[in-house]
Chains A and B, each alone.
Chain A
């Protein structure tokens, strides 16, 4: 990559993606995801892969950029509402005494877990090394397998790798969802930037997939929280 002419939008994508990988709290990762969607939309507007057909202020943009922003905003809104409300309560009157006892036990355990959970720096070792690995791979892969321009290749490799590593290092279900959404964003950018003939249906399906994925993650998060009173994945595998 030529560092003499640094593209600030690409830097923005890199930084917001890095924040998603490093941070654990949804109050920080979801705004970082929103920033990523914003920067990707700015990147699409800047590169003008599709002929602009709208004028926002004095800046010509394509309708697709607006659709991307709306899709990203919708996915974030779904996840934020989920994170704020979390629990999908069971109909307690339908449950037998064993299930009720299990719910009470899960609530107690989650409360104890929250009380004894200090900030541990060791939790950040894996994400930091994953970030380093993603950075090296995103800089090396465009040279080994050049597909588009260096900027395009860096951005889609970066989004895909950050998404993958976010899923691998995730401790809670919402972060897994964010990783999946980043992977979808990566292929969406790849298709928009490089496909010979960009068609409406694949683009529409990509947006639809993003929204449906956010909904399913929200549903699973609600289910998990309703069952275990926590979003932590390790609780799923405890006896």
Chain B
């Protein structure tokens, strides 16, 4: 019941905020109230006690709870900022809805198909926040903003499609059932790498992130980078943990991912130095950060010596 409440409460609050969206202060108050109540609900939810709902397994582990609470803190901070800085008319309802979807992904990590689709939905909703204008503005939506939104939409849907295909392949795979057949673990890792690479803005799929930071409102950027991207990163780590075959059959693939991580960090850092505007500098620093994260995740390949990432997050590979 508590799980259901945690998933549906944001929808009702987002609807309320949408109805009252013309009254900015009231909407912000609704957003802050929602985040506080959601935090209480998340704290009340028992850790590691799975429940079944409509054939899906819902579970909140300690790491998931930590991320959920962190996301809610970010929400409160962003709503407080929205009080002072004029935001898009629909910022608060869209932010609540995205937080609700991301909260649901944290509960549904054991259902990769559903999570992949929820992440697509979160990306699609973020597009609405990107192109949103404040109430009563006298300016037009910028061309660059529309271009940025379109680029983000296309890349996030493609990322979701890649991830979905990867999960279908890996759930079908039974090692040794068809001798001689090429293992789909490589194709799966490739699809996951492209899917998560697009989401995390890893080179060569990074171009959307500096554009987003430059053209979208800072609070929308915060929502995308700190909430959606962080949840995607956690989902990537959990996917490698739930399907250890991807790691064990892909020594070379993981090494390539490490290389891409290093390349992304180097390129992001170098390009940040070459930028003039502060927003683009931040954008490329975020790309650099994505490279470092990918490098950390890719070191998961040695089960005997858990990587810095798994130690940091208190995760272990399934073999340990």
Known: A187-B161, A199-B55. A99 touches B140 (CB 8 A): yes
Q: Taking the nearest CB of chain B, how far is it from the CB of A184, in angstroms?
A: 7
Please name all residues of chain B whose beta carbon is closer than 8 Å to the beta carbon of A229 when the two chains form the complex.
none
Q: Taking the nearest CB of chain B, how far is it from the CB of A231, in angstroms?
A: 11
Q: Which of B41-69 contact A (CB under 8 A)?
A: 54-56
Known: A183-B161, A184-B157, A184-B161. A227 touches B146 (CB 8 A): yes
Question: Among the listed stretches B30-38, B81-89, B112-120, B285-293, which one makes contact with chain A, having 4 or more residues with CB under 8 Å of it?
Answer: B112-120
Known: A216-B153, A220-B127, A223-B131. A191 touches B136 (CB 8 A): no
Known: A95-B138, A96-B138, A209-B120. A220 touches B154 (CB 8 A): no
Known: A145-B187, A147-B169, A206-B117. A228 touches B143 (CB 8 A): yes
Is A220 in contact with B140, judged by CB distance below 8 angstroms? no
Whether a CB of chain B sits under 8 angstroms from the CB of A167 is yes
Is A187 in contact with B165, judged by CB distance below 8 angstroms? yes
Q: Which 6 A-B pairs have the closest CB atoms?
A: A96-B138, A205-B117, A202-B113, A187-B164, A236-B147, A199-B55
Please name all residues of chain A whose beta carbon is closer than 8 Å to the beta carbon of B177 when the two chains form the complex.
none
CA distance in complex: A173, B153 (Å): 11
Is B154 in contact with A167, judged by CB distance below 8 angstroms? yes
Known: A201-B114, A220-B149. A227 touches B161 (CB 8 A): no
Whether a CB of chain A sits under 8 angstroms from the CB of B172 is yes
Chain A residues with CB under 8 Å of chain B are 90, 94-96, 99, 102-103, 144-147, 160, 164, 167, 173, 176, 180, 183-184, 186-187, 190-191, 194-196, 199-202, 205-206, 208-209, 212-213, 216, 219-220, 223-224, 227-228, 233, 235-237
Of chain A, the residue at the smallest CB distance from B131 is: A223
Across the interface, A213 reaches (CB within 8 A) one of B114, B137, B138, B157, namely B157
Q: Taking the nearest CB of chain A, how far is it from the CB of B129, in angstroms?
A: 12
Is B146 in contact with A99, judged by CB distance below 8 angstroms? no
Q: Taking the nearest CB of chain B, how far is it from the CB of A200, in angstroms?
A: 6
CA distance in complex: A147, B182 (Å): 11
Please name all residues of chain A whose beta carbon is closer than 8 Å to the beta carbon of B137 when the two chains form the complex.
94
Whether a CB of chain A sits under 8 angstroms from the CB of B304 is no
Please name all residues of chain A whose beta carbon is closer than 8 Å to the beta carbon of B140 when the two chains form the complex.
90, 95, 99, 102-103, 227
Of chain B, the residue at the smallest CB distance from A144 is: B182
Is B164 in contact with A227, judged by CB distance below 8 angstroms? no
Across the interface, A94 reaches (CB within 8 A) one of B114, B136, B164, B165, namely B136
CA distance in complex: A24, B115 (Å): 34
Known: A195-B171, A236-B147. A212 touches B114 (CB 8 A): no
B106-142 interface mask toward A, CB cutoff 8 Å, 1 = contact, 0 = none? Answer: 0000010110011011001001100100001111110
Is A201 in contact with B128, judged by CB distance below 8 angstroms? no
Classify the interface of chain B: helix, strand, loop or mixed. Answer: helix
Across the interface, A236 reaches (CB within 8 A) one of B114, B118, B146, namely B146
Is A223 in contact with B117, judged by CB distance below 8 angstroms? no
Q: Taking the nearest CB of chain B, how far is it from the CB of A104, in angstroms?
A: 12
Please name all residues of chain A whose beta carbon is closer than 8 Å to the beta carbon of B181 when the two chains form the complex.
146
Of chain A, the residue at the smallest CB distance from B186 is: A145
Please name all residues of chain B whose beta carbon is closer than 8 Å to the beta carbon of A206 when the two chains form the complex.
117
Please name all residues of chain A whose beta carbon is closer than 8 Å to the beta carbon of B118 when the two chains form the complex.
205
Candidate in B127, B128, B138, B158 with the most chain A CB atoms within 10 angstroms: B138
Q: Taking the nearest CB of chain A, how far is it from the CB of B163, in angstroms?
A: 9
Please name all residues of chain B whose beta carbon is closer than 8 Å to the beta carbon of A95 when the two chains form the complex.
138-140
Is B124 in contact with A99, judged by CB distance below 8 angstroms? no
CA distance in complex: A183, B56 (Å): 25
CA distance in complex: A199, B113 (Å): 10
Please name all residues of chain A whose beta carbon is closer than 8 Å to the beta carbon of B153 when the two chains form the complex.
180, 216, 220
CA distance in complex: A199, B146 (Å): 36
New contact pairs (8) apart from A145-B184, A184-B157, A202-B117, CB-CB < 8 Å: A99-B139, A144-B182, A183-B161, A194-B168, A195-B168, A202-B111, A213-B157, A227-B141
CA distance in complex: A235, B144 (Å): 11
Whether a CB of chain A sits under 8 angstroms from the CB of B282 is no
Whether a CB of chain A sits under 8 angstroms from the CB of B245 is no
Whether a CB of chain A sits under 8 angstroms from the CB of B271 is no
Of chain B, the residue at the smallest CB distance from A173 is: B150
Pairs A–B under 8 Å by Cβ, sample size 21 = A95-B140, A160-B161, A164-B158, A176-B150, A184-B161, A187-B164, A194-B172, A195-B172, A196-B171, A201-B55, A201-B114, A202-B111, A202-B114, A212-B121, A212-B124, A213-B157, A219-B128, A219-B131, A220-B146, A227-B141, A236-B150
CA distance in complex: A167, B157 (Å): 12
Is A180 in contact with B154, judged by CB distance below 8 angstroms? yes
Is B168 in contact with A224, judged by CB distance below 8 angstroms? no
Candidate in A95, A144, A212, A224 with the most chain B CB atoms within 10 angstroms: A224
Known: A96-B138, A194-B168. A176 touches B154 (CB 8 A): yes
Please name all residues of chain B whose beta carbon is closer than 8 Å to the beta carbon of A186 when the two chains form the complex.
161
Is B161 in contact with A213, judged by CB distance below 8 angstroms? no
